[in-house]
Amino acid sequence: MEPITPSTDKKTQTLVPLTFSSSAPSSYPFAYVDNLWDVVREGSNLAQLTEAIGQFDQHSINELLATLILQIITPPATHGSFNQSFSRSFERS
């Protein structure tokens, strides 16, 4: 997986002294954005999975995690069967 940029330095943010809320929280939660970024730092668990450090868009990280999860479980027939199968993957024997 290739980072968008290899830099692990976060960009300076300007603070906005306002409170925001979604106009339709059940359809579009506030955290919904087209590009949400995460910085993968050297030595982190995520760096082990991505095999790289730098800045990644959240969609690419989500796709990587989904691919890795599907390698350890049988692909679900339905959302409900996914929840059951995924939960069983973490149960102690």
| Structural element, H or E, at residue 86 | helix 79-89
pTM, two decimals, is 0.54
Q: Is residue 80 part of a domain?
A: no
Q: Is residue 63 part of a domain?
A: yes
pLDDT by position in tens, the chain (length 93) = 888 778 877 777 666 566 677 777 777 766 656 667 889 999 999 999 999 999 998 889 999 999 998 888 877 677 777 777 777 778 776
Q: Is residue 67 part of a domain?
A: yes
Q: Write b or e for each residue in 5-17: b if 16 or more Cβ atoms lie within 10 A of its Cβ, otherwise e.
A: eeeeeeeeeeeee
Q: Is residue 82 part of a domain?
A: no
